[in-house]
Amino acid sequence: MDSEDEARLLRTKGGIPIQLLLSDMELRLYEDKERILVRKCLEDSTKKQVLSEDLFVLRLRRFFSTIKGFHQGKLDLSGRHNERYISVKQRFLKFYRDVQQLEHAAVPYHYPLRDEKNRVIIRNRQPVYIQDIAIDPPQLLEDFRKRWHIDERYNLSTLFRETADVWNYVFVKRREPKLQKLCLVDLPTELLLVIVENADKDDLRRLGVTCRVLNQVCFTLVFESYTLRLSYNDKVLTDPGYATMPPAQRQSLYASLTTDSTTRFHRDVQYLLSRNDILCRIHKLTLKNELFSLGHNPPSFYEPIDHAVKTLLRRTLNIRELVLHPWFITPSLFDGTSIVNLKRVVIQKSSSNIDRHLESEWAPCVSVQELSLTIGHITDLDSWGVIKHLPNLRSLSICGRDFWWSISRDATLPLRALHPHFAFSVNPWRTLEHFYLSAICSGEVARLVQWITLVQTSSPFPLRLTHLKISIGNGIFEEDLILLLDQLRQSGDLMQNIVLDGLHEAEPGLLDLIATTFPNLTSLTLLYRESPPQKRSRPANWPYPSWEYAQHLAQFRKLRFFGWNFRVSMESPTPYALHFFENGYPEFEGKRQEIPQDVHMFEDAEFTVARLMGVNCTSLEVVALLEGPDAYPSVYAKETENNRSTFVRMEWEQGREIVTKETSITNTARYTQFALH
């Protein structure tokens, strides 16, 4: 076998090469077959002996195929480099000399062939003999097997024959190797960036240490996203004695864990501060607090930690995104964000005491344009206070919980938005363009309307919303939706994209209301819930037939995308048989023509619905029939040929990409060009 296989055997001590499961790429020959064998062995631990034999056969086959592949010009993803060829060639020459030594010591012998009952097989009144090879002395064979890791069940005749074939192909016929002229580093920089952007971080680290060029390309992406953790040793808490530990001892253990955690955190921060080459490459900084699962610490515990983060933020001038998951936000931390050029802040299940300092004069973070809030507990509602210090928000995403189908009424949005003091001081609606609301109770929609009304009553201003998405687990009531659309009427000419997930009522008149309120709408997605207990969107039976909704869809003049979860059957009948009957069953070539089946009698029902929508709304370019968050949608796109338009079903991946683009409104690249003040 080659040197790479021998190194792997030494690392695994002859066991199962688990590292094969870490990647699905076939970097060397037969690695895909090896991967299948390893997975089967892990499923059934009794196959280890069989696995060892099978893996050896593949390793020896790869050894022979690799040396031949260099001369055939067809090898594997590891490449046909000169250094690799020299290594494989030298190893094969040593292997060939050892095999020649075995052949000189080989002694042929015969033994009778036996059946499954160990009886000698007789043919034509003569026993059947099989020829085999023995090595004299036997120690020579033992040394050979041990040196090259060859299984004792591997037939020597086969080994001699395969070795001779490779020798004749490569050395006797004197074929020249076809070495690789272009390597990965010879590709254009644009292609290298595409490769490394789709690679895993561990793969990037391994790729970056191969040469100087790849190091410069990979090093930037390896540290583009960096995570700092307040972690602890969970083995201490999973110890059986922890459950029976006295409260005082448990409290002492918890204090020790938190002390060790903060010490490691400060050490990691100091390491980053000493590496300017890493700091200048960080674009996304994530702060994770695993101590939250052990209990809540007082704000004084987080003050020195957030102060260290503030110092770090002042040095990371290229940071664009800050993720807190979960974290306790202190004024010291958020005061540090006003210095850097942040574009996006993600706050997930984090609490804060910022709300108590709303009157303090902080330097606002004017560069942040996108904020994402995830509320998982009543204590997380204090994190809303950060909105006051983000005066130029363009995108606001609010999520009640990660698993929105299991939401309860005691984990909703902060009702303090109805308080005049909060509403006047925390007002993102002046600059907001994208608004995403999900995983809250349906009653919060009415309170959202009251919040907008309060801030507009105090100081009227035009709304700038262009994208609106509301996704509520227990559904949106019609009266709340009408109030919200009426309140957003001011941004009617600017609104481009609306997603309403969870409609309880789906009257065709809803399309009229949306069309008159937002005449320049280009994308509309409606998801209907058949019953109040339904928490997830899936294909539903809408109250009216599709042609009634299509008639009302005609009022949209600029609509390009329409998505809904209208349930349709696989096939729909056509009026072809009725036309055949009305024509009196005409005869063809003297015989009565039979009614044709399949092609003319039925057609794709989804295509029928898409065509129906396109006929009524002439500006429509894409119609999507949505089947749920985990299923592939049926997407139909308009194609025009010879002044005739029709809808063609798109490939699944391409259709899903379009639906994701139209229903996700938090992409900052799609912001309209408003001046920020």
Q: pLDDT, tens digit, for every residue of 436-472?
A: 988 777 777 888 888 888 877 777 788 899 999 998 8
**Is there a domain that residue 595 lies in?**
no
| Residue of higher predicted confidence among 110 and 281 | 281
pLDDT value at residue 398: 85
What is the gyration radius of the CA atoms in the chain, in angstroms? 35
Token readout for 215 is 């190091």
pLDDT value at residue 366: 86
Q: Is the pLDDT of residue 52 over 60?
A: no
pLDDT value at residue 419: 58
Instruction: Give yes or no: residues 145 and 217 share one domain.
Output: no
| Residue of higher predicted confidence among 576 and 668 | 576
Read off φ and ψ for residue 11, nearest 5 degrees: -70, -40
Q: Tell which residue, 349, 335, 395, has the closest CA to residue 368.
A: 395
The residue type at 621: E
Domain range holding 20? 3-108+141-181
Instruction: Give yes or no: residues 94 and 150 share one domain.
Output: yes
**Mean pLDDT, the chain, integer:** 78
Residue ending a domain, among 222, 245, 274, is 222
Q: What is the pLDDT of residues 620-666, one digit of tens each?
A: 999 999 876 666 788 899 888 777 888 888 877 777 788 888 887 54
pLDDT band per the 50, 70, 90 thresholds, residue 409? very low
pTM of the model as a whole:
0.69
pLDDT value at residue 396: 92
Per the rule left: phi > 0, alpha: psi between -120 and 50, beta: everything else, 89 is alpha
Instruction: Give yes or no: residues 205 and 93 share one domain.
Output: no
Q: Per-residue pLDDT averaged across 273-286, rounded?
A: 89
Distance CA 127, CA 115 (A): 12
**Is there a domain that residue 246 lies in?**
no
Q: Tell which residue, 548, 554, 466, 461, has the closest CA to residue 516.
A: 554
DSSP state of 359: T
pLDDT band per the 50, 70, 90 thresholds, residue 676? very low
Distance CA 626, CA 538 (A): 7
Q: Is the pLDDT of residue 573 over 80?
A: no
Q: Per-residue pLDDT averaged across 500-513, rounded?
A: 91
Distance CA 217, CA 240 (A): 48
pLDDT band per the 50, 70, 90 thresholds, residue 47? very low
Q: What is residue 398's three-state secondary structure?
A: strand
Dihedral in degrees, nearest 10, Cα atoms 271, 274, 277, 278: 20
Q: Are 319 and 280 in contact (CB under 8 A)?
A: no
How would you label 221-249 residue by residue, b for 16+ Cβ within 10 Å and e otherwise?
Answer: bbbbebebebebeeeeeeeeeeeeeeeee
Q: Which residue has the tokens 């300017």?
A: 276
Distance CA 375, CA 224 (A): 27
Q: What is the pLDDT of residues 134-144, one digit of tens each?
A: 888 888 888 88
Q: What is the pLDDT of residues 584-610, one digit of tens each?
A: 766 554 555 555 555 556 666 778 888
- What is the share, in percent, of the chain residues with pLDDT greater than 70? 78
pLDDT band per the 50, 70, 90 thresholds, residue 669? very low
Token readout for 90 is 């030298």
- What is the share, in percent, of the chain residues with pLDDT greater than 90? 15
CA angle 428, 429, 434 (to 5 degrees): 90
Instruction: Give yes or no: residues 86 and 34 share one domain.
Output: yes
Q: How many CB atoms lie within 10 A of CB 544?
A: 11
Q: What is the pLDDT of residues 211-261, one digit of tens each?
A: 788 888 888 788 888 999 988 776 666 666 766 778 788 788 888 888 888
Instruction: Give yes or no: residues 195 and 83 share one domain.
Output: no
pLDDT value at residue 548: 93
Token readout for 447 is 């309170």
Distance CA 374, CA 376 (A): 6
pLDDT value at residue 268: 93
Q: What is residue 375's three-state secondary structure?
A: coil
Residue 632 CA: distances (Å) to CA of 402, 449, 628, 638, 656: 22, 34, 8, 19, 6
Distance CA 290, CA 234 (A): 10
Q: What is residue 26's three-state secondary structure?
A: coil
Instruction: Give yes or no: residues 23 and 146 share one domain.
Output: yes
Instruction: Give yes or no: residues 193 and 176 share one domain.
Output: no
Residue ending a domain, among 129, 155, 181, is 181
DSSP state of 473: E
**Is there a domain that residue 51 lies in?**
yes
pLDDT value at residue 159: 86
Read off φ and ψ for residue 372, nearest 5 degrees: -120, 120
| Residue of higher predicted confidence among 154 and 381 | 154
pLDDT value at residue 515: 94
Instruction: Give yes or no: residues 20 and 167 share one domain.
Output: yes
**Is there a domain that residue 87 lies in?**
yes
Token readout for 268 is 């990691």
Q: Which residue has the tokens 């090879």?
A: 133
Q: Per-residue pLDDT averaged across 520-542, rounded?
A: 86
pLDDT value at residue 527: 92
**Is there a domain that residue 323 lies in?**
no
Instruction: Give yes or no: residues 54 and 201 share one domain.
Output: no
Per the rule left: phi > 0, alpha: psi between -120 and 50, beta: everything else, 111 is beta
**Is there a domain that residue 21 lies in?**
yes
Q: What is the pLDDT of residues 286-344, one digit of tens each?
A: 999 888 767 667 778 888 898 899 889 888 888 899 998 888 887 777 777 777 788 99
**Is there a domain that residue 89 lies in?**
yes
Burial of 395 (0-12, 13-18, 19+ CB in 10 A): buried
pLDDT value at residue 587: 59
pLDDT band per the 50, 70, 90 thresholds, residue 413? low
Q: Is the pLDDT of residue 45 over 60?
A: no
pLDDT value at residue 219: 80
Q: Which residue has the tokens 């490769």?
A: 195
Distance CA 370, CA 393 (A): 6
pLDDT band per the 50, 70, 90 thresholds, residue 670? very low
Give the number of domains in the chain.
2
Instruction: Give yes or no: residues 11 and 31 share one domain.
Output: yes
Instruction: Give yes or no: residues 16 and 156 share one domain.
Output: yes
Instruction: Give yes or no: residues 26 and 83 share one domain.
Output: yes
pLDDT value at residue 551: 93
H or E stretch covering 131: strand 129-135
Distance CA 257, CA 269 (A): 18
Q: Per-residue pLDDT averaged across 530-556, rounded?
A: 87
pLDDT band per the 50, 70, 90 thresholds, residue 489? confident
Q: Which residue has the tokens 């039976």?
A: 541
The residue type at 112: P
**Is there a domain that residue 158 lies in?**
yes
Q: Are 2 and 91 in contact (CB under 8 A)?
A: yes
